[in-house]
Amino acid sequence: MSKEIDWANIGFSYQPTSKRFVAVYKDGKWNDGELTDDPNIVINECAGVLQYAQTCFEGLKAKTSKDGKIVTFRPDLNAKRMIDTCERLCIPPIPEELFLKAVDEVVKANADFVPPYGTGASLYLRPFIYGSGPVIGVKPSPEYTFRLFGTPVGSYFSGGLKPIKLMVSDFDRAAPCGTGHIKAGLNYAMSMYAGQMAHSLGYDENMYLDSKTRTFVEETGGANFLFVTKDGTIVTPKSDTILPSITRRSLITVARDVLDMKIEERPVSFEEIKEFAECGLCGTAAVISPVGMVHSEKEDIYFPNGMENPGPITQKLYDTLTGIQMQEIEAPEGWIRECK
Ligand code: PLP
Ligand code: COI
């Protein structure tokens, strides 16, 4: 039985659920991990995460499918990306089987927080690893903790599928490690200033351009871009300094194989975006959120769909992807994992 929650109005915020998973890396190995009731963490003052920010996270969702099963979407890709991130941050990689066990156990233990089919809401899962052992010289922590909790969420942007407004600022996406292939290269704290500034000026998000030339489109603080040309081709930025979004990769497969559309993954100059018919932000949290306008110092660019409704292709991509995630539409092999 689902909890009595106003699923339509929960937004994207944290609400503690019943159980979370904890595993520890000590003496050269990860233990088997277990569920715990306690949402709080007691940590040494000199822990690697506190001193040198040795930490990383992932994000994925569990949903109720059309036939009432609880399912996750491509969690193996989150596990693999987390392993890549760990390697870059000198964190011992969390084995894929342990990651998937944590996903299944947390979802099962919090089944009453998984929104019912048809509500549009999800149980957002947040796996993260942090250096929990004390370290004072600049070097990797001697101990690590992996945790995974769930929190029920609705739309990332408060208007749901109402188009959002972006602002281009002169801030770097902040990839101080010199790579964005992995979450490690993305410094989320460094991106908050630009995001907060955009909010304070009435925009929903900041749009990052490439740090080197400030001429190519990168991504936003938490999502990749997908554009649609006037002749219906999907264009998405190719860049080594953006996160390889699982949602974007899935939407491209859906557009190509299910909707029979043409795809171009290539550098996208900011100058050309005014020629596009539609623009969307894609990510686990954002799904695909339509963009209505982009503000830059030079000009305001409005996409033809306007500020009330998504464009037709964005809507189609949204419906098809969420349809696959809820098993209304047949999923490609291996995309859906039932939490049994
Ligand atoms: N870009 C950034 C910076 C993100 O943090 C995220 C979400 O984690 C994404 C893009 C979207 O990635 P995914 O579709 O794998 O959630
Ligand atoms: C996600 O889409 O899962 C993200 O991680 C984006 C954001 C909430 C950080």
Domain assignment of residue 315, yes or no: yes
CA 251 to chain centre: 14
Q: How do 164-168 and 287-295 pair as beta strands?
A: parallel
Domain that holds residue 199: 164-325
What percent of the chain shows pLDDT beyond 90? 84
- Whether residues 302 and 225 share a domain: the answer is yes
Identify which has the larger pLDDT, 217 or 180: 217
Pick the last residue of a domain from 153, 184, 214: 153
Domain assignment of residue 2, yes or no: no
Predicted pLDDT at 3: 85
Domains in the chain, number:
2
Report the candidate in 136, 155, 269, 263 with the shortest Cα–Cα distance to residue 204: 155
What are the tens digits of pLDDT across the range 279-328? 999 999 999 999 999 999 999 999 999 999 999 999 999 999 999 999 99
- Whether residues 217 and 275 share a domain: the answer is yes
Kindly tell me if the per-residue pLDDT of 43 is higher than 70. Answer: yes
Distance from the alpha carbon of residue 156 to the mean position of ligand 2, in angstroms: 9
Q: Which atom of ligand 1 is nearest to the CA of 186?
A: 3
Q: How do 29-30 and 336-338 pair as beta strands?
A: unpaired
CATH of the domain at 96: 3.30.470.10
Pick the last residue of a domain from 153, 176, 210: 153
Decide: 295 and 203 in contact? Cβ < 8 Å.
Answer: yes
Kindly tell me if the per-residue pLDDT of 128 is higher than 60. Answer: yes
- Whether residues 191 and 148 share a domain: the answer is no
Kindly tell me if the per-residue pLDDT of 42 is higher than 90. Answer: yes
Decide: 4 and 10 in contact? Cβ < 8 Å.
Answer: no
pLDDT band at 186 (very low <50, low <70, confident <90, very high): low
Kindly name the residue from 19, 63, 183, 316 that is annotated as catalytic.
183
Predicted pLDDT at 2: 82
| 274 Cβ contact list (under 8 Å, min separation 6) | 299, 301
- Whether residues 127 and 195 share a domain: the answer is no
| 136: its two tokens | 């004072």
Distance (Å, whole) CA 128 – CA 1? 28
Predicted pLDDT at 241: 83
Measured on CA atoms in the order 75, 40, 32, 85, is the torsion positive or negative? positive
Tokens 């557009």 found at? 255
Domain assignment of residue 158, yes or no: no
Kindly tell me if the per-residue pLDDT of 242 is higher than 90. Answer: no
Pick the last residue of a domain from 132, 153, 174: 153
What three-state secondary structure class fits 274?
helix
Residue 183 annotated to the active site: yes
Phi, psi of 318 (to 5 degrees): -60, -50
Exposed/middle/buried for 317, CB within 10 Å: 0-12, 13-18, 19+?
Answer: buried
Q: Decide: 186 in ligand 1 pocket, CB within 6 A.
A: yes
Domain assignment of residue 52, yes or no: yes
Please spell the DSSP secondary structure of 142-153, one letter per residue: S-EEEEEEEEEE
| CA-closest residue to ligand 2 atom 7 | 222
pLDDT band at 17 (very low <50, low <70, confident <90, very high): very high
Kindly tell me if the per-residue pLDDT of 179 is higher than 60. Answer: no
Give strand ranges (E) for 104-158: 122-131, 144-153
> Within 13 A of 2's CA, how many CA atoms are on the CB side?
20
Predicted pLDDT at 177: 39
- Whether residues 105 and 11 share a domain: the answer is yes
Q: Decide: 23 in ligand 1 pocket, CB within 6 A.
A: no
pLDDT band at 174 (very low <50, low <70, confident <90, very high): low
- Whether residues 121 and 177 share a domain: the answer is no
For all residues of the chain together, what is the average pLDDT? 93
Kindly tell me if the per-residue pLDDT of 184 is higher than 80. Answer: no
Predicted pLDDT at 251: 98
- Whether residues 172 and 295 share a domain: the answer is yes
Distance (Å, whole) CA 178 – CA 183? 11
Output b/e per residue, 319-328; b: 16+ Cβ within 10 A. ebbbbbbbbe
pTM of the model: 0.96
What percent of the chain shows pLDDT beyond 70? 96
| CA-closest residue to ligand 1 atom 9 | 223
